[in-house]
Amino acid sequence: MPESPLLQALEPLRVARTGFRPLTETEKQTLRSQGNLWRPGCVLLAAPGFDLACIHFNRFAGTVVLSGEIYHSVLEDVEISEGAMVDQCPLVRRTLIGPQALVRHSTLNCSAPTSFGVGSVIKAGLETPGREIRIWDSMTLETGERYLTDLVLQKEVDDLSVAVVFDRTVVGAGVQIINTPWIDRTYFGPGTRVHAAQRIDQCTIHSSTEESVFLGAAVQLRGAIVQWGSEVGSAAQVVQSILLEYSGAGRHALVTESLIGPNTTIQGGEVTASFLGPFVGFHHQSLLIAAWWPEGRGNIGYGANIGSNHTSRSPDQELWAGEGTFFGLATAVKYPSNFHEAPYSILASGVVTLPQKLSLPFSLVLDEPLDREQVRGLNRVIPGWVLKENVYLLMRNEAKFLQRNKARRHSFDLRIFRPEIVEKLWKARVLLANIEGKAVYTKSDLPAVGKNYMLEEDRREAVAVYREFLRYAALKLFAEKVLDGVPCNEDWLKGLFRRLNLDSFTTAQNLAFYLEEEKALWEASLRAKERDDQRGATIIPDYEKFHRPAEEDEFLLKKQEQLVDLAEKIRQFGPMGS
């Protein structure tokens, strides 16, 4: 059975607890004098921290364990721990309230035994049956992917969904629940803050004082699991989904039957039947349906329609997005589509893509019609454009992800030029290098271009750019291994060096080559930022007044400092043999 903090938290709550005593007749008489009433047969017990002076104008039924402060509330089968406060609650029923918790102007219930959302089914990248995943409270990206093929894990999750069943809503230590009219069958981990949510039903909220979860105004959660450090606010709805650690939803977002990876927050749009990895930028009103995107790190622009239900096709279609894919403003992606082998590619604003498999990394796809019969209606693809023209974006994103990563239960290699990306680059370069002789290429000439066309000059440029960055990546991986001890498969790296004719140079020479490559990359990033500055200044009258110039760009300045440190590190490393 997978490790389950939820099950661990529930186990001590299932056994009969001691230390409670019945109230005396004198205490009951005092309670009545303070406006408290209870039904016939009601059992009132005193727990540590019981103070008659702090219990006024309440209604009790069933078995109620009294402690803390209780004012103007209706309680039935409730246990309140020391230091907790229940204030002006229309109904608190079948609920355990932990130490120092605050429940005010809210309704809590446990209408039936519940698994707290454990075992809810998401549809991972496919709206129709076929790729279901039953979620559990300690789920990660890696175990979520593994669930699809691991029969043992599937059985363990089934067992866990039965093992966690409990007949109480649980409010952990230090939880705050304020102005929330509907809470049913939910577990709140310590430190959770719920302020003016609308509905929370059959959920697990994992939280701690160090990694608290915040659920804000008008939020609705149903059959959901929210992990540590996450935030849901501004009328967002999360239904039958899981938000992994430090993720979230806000601004009227709708998340249904999906997994949202660490450091990804859905703002303003709709995500349905999708499996999203880390650092997906989703900040606007957009649509994403049936997407398999475990690598994440991309962006979805305003007005993007990425989904199978906006065409006439059956909803059994899907998208495999590539790592770092950038879906521009108002793009429309027709299904099925597969960009998995084209990481860090950009779909330009307004592009409508046809069903396809694109396998050329770091490409730009743009709506640029060519009036030739064989390519009419196709978009233009420029392989390697992102490396050649917008490397500033890549380097800045890499640094940003490293800085903003908060995940503690996931381990990400946030480097862009790591072995699996390098192999995709190599494969694409070989494909492009092995064709020539035409002015325009389509899928019939090279399947890797997908349902697009490619010009000969773009092919030649891409071959050169791919090789340039393969060399950079190889030297970078080598330098990280030699200088910083970053692990890298030695046989694979030696093979890459042989393929790039770098194996005949000494260690000192290759480190020197790497330093020059990093300097050149910094200069290319500087030029890219300068181009943006120049364009902005020609269009916006006061652009220079309110935008930092390239030479003051925070990322470029930090990168320049790193170059100085790298040069010193190489100097101290000293001359080495081959």
Residue pLDDT, tens place only, 115-159: 999 999 999 889 988 899 999 999 999 999 999 999 999 999 999
Contacts for 190 with CB less than 8 Å, ≥ 6 apart:
98, 172, 173, 174, 175, 207, 208, 209
What pLDDT, in 10s, does the model give residues 72-98?
999 999 999 999 999 999 999 999 999
| Residue-level length of the chain | 578
- Residue 578 predicted with pLDDT over 50: no
Q: Which pLDDT score, from 0 to 100, does residue 311 have?
A: 58
Minimal CA–CA distance to 131: which of 275, 327, 283? 275
In a domain, residue 556? The reply is no
Phi-psi region of 260 (alpha: psi -120 to 50; beta: other; left: phi over 0): beta
Residue-range definition of the domain harbouring residue 57? 1-112+166-225
Q: Whole-angstrom Cα distance, residue 356 to residue 285?
A: 25
In a domain, residue 86? The reply is yes
The upper half-sphere exposure of residue 44, i.e. CA atoms within 13 Å in the direction of its Cβ, equals 24
Q: Whole-angstrom Cα distance, residue 78 to residue 42?
A: 11
Cross-strand partners of 380: 366, 453
- Residue 577 predicted with pLDDT over 70: no
Confidence grade of residue 378 (pLDDT, cut at 50, 70, 90): very high
Q: Which pLDDT score, from 0 to 100, does residue 480 have?
A: 95
- Residue 364 predicted with pLDDT over 60: yes
In a domain, residue 576? The reply is no
Q: Whole-angstrom Cα distance, residue 237 to residue 119?
A: 19
- Residue 527 predicted with pLDDT over 90: no
Q: Which pLDDT score, from 0 to 100, does residue 28 have?
A: 97
DSSP assignment string, 338-350: E-TTSTT-EE-TT
What pLDDT, in 10s, does the model give residues 219-234?
999 999 999 999 999 9
Is pLDDT larger for residue 577 or for residue 542? Answer: 542
In a domain, residue 46? The reply is yes
In a domain, residue 45? The reply is yes
- Residue 1 predicted with pLDDT over 90: no
In a domain, residue 104? The reply is yes
- Residue 573 predicted with pLDDT over 90: no
Judge whether 346 and 367 are in contact, CB under 8 Å: no
Confidence grade of residue 529 (pLDDT, cut at 50, 70, 90): confident
Percent of the chain whose predicted confidence (pLDDT) is above 70: 98
In the block, which residue shows the tokens 């020197």? 512
Q: How far is CA 444 from CA 32, 131, 276, 440, in A?
A: 86, 31, 32, 11
Host H or E run for residue 115:
none
Mean per-residue pLDDT, 101-128: 96
What pLDDT, in 10s, does the model give residues 24-49?
999 999 999 999 999 999 999 999 99
In a domain, residue 196? The reply is yes
Least confident of 147-156, 168-177, 369-378: 369-378
In a domain, residue 119? The reply is no
Judge whether 272 and 253 are in contact, CB under 8 Å: no
Residue type, 316: D
Q: How many domains does the chain have?
A: 1
What pLDDT, in 10s, does the model give residues 276-325?
999 999 999 999 999 999 999 999 999 999 986 555 666 778 999 999 99
- Residue 332 predicted with pLDDT over 80: yes
Q: Which pLDDT score, from 0 to 100, does residue 105 have?
A: 98
Question: Residue 233: is it exposed, middle or buried by C-beta count within 10 angstroms (0-12/13-18/19+)?
Answer: buried
Question: Which structure tokens are listed for 218?
Answer: 């008008």
Mean per-residue pLDDT, 493-518: 94
